[in-house]
Amino acid sequence: MRKESIGGIIVDEQLTFVRIFNLPDEPDWGGSALEEFCFYGQTVNFISENMDSSGKANLSVTLHHDESGSFQEAVDAIAELHEDISVEVIEHVCLLTVYGPHFKERCGLAATFFRALGIRGINILSISTSISSISAIIEEKHLLDATNALRDVFDVP
């Protein structure tokens, strides 16, 4: 099997994954939620938003949170933005990204990425892509196996 060339793999460990459910699908709710993290000094490094079948927006983020209590204050403030909002916090996740130029011109890279992890039984908690990267949130306990899986299917410098 021919391996697709990529620019490399980036790993960001020791993250917390926060899922914010039932945001009104209206302008600025996502911005309002993200602003709370910033207000409490928490830097978000991954963002994914989608609308569910009931018409509500769901926002997923990861961040390195400190132990000062400001993380929990931010989560509590987000939960208080609207009566329907619920927040789920998952500790011990990592962000795994493959990058390279011009992914939009190359068929199947995302499928290769996701299948490589899936075949090894690694569940992807969230996905985000750009024109030149594919990122997935996974449980930290799977990091070594996941990076090995990606090295098996991609030509990594």
The Cα–Cα gap between 4 and 11 comes to 19
Residue 24 structure tokens: 């009104």
CATH architecture of the domain covering 4-12+93-155: 2-Layer Sandwich (3.30)
Shortest CA distance to 110 belongs to which of 91, 128, 134?
134
Q: Which CATH superfamily is domain 17-89 in?
A: ACT domain (3.30.70.260)
The Cα–Cα gap between 109 and 123 comes to 18
Model confidence pLDDT, tens digit, residues 109-131: 899 999 999 999 999 999 999 88
Model confidence pLDDT, tens digit, residues 25-82: 888 888 998 999 999 989 999 999 999 999 999 999 999 876 667 888 999 999 998 8
The Cα–Cα gap between 62 and 16 comes to 5
The CA-CA-CA angle for residues 137, 142, 145, to 5°, reads: 115
The Cα–Cα gap between 150 and 117 comes to 7
Domain with CATH 3.30.70.260 in the chain: 4-12+93-155, 17-89
Q: What is the pTM of this model?
A: 0.90
- Backbone torsions φ then ψ of 151, nearest 5 degrees: -65, -25
54-58, 92-96, 106-110, range with greatest mean pLDDT = 92-96
* Dihedral in degrees, nearest 10, Cα atoms 129, 134, 135, 138: 120
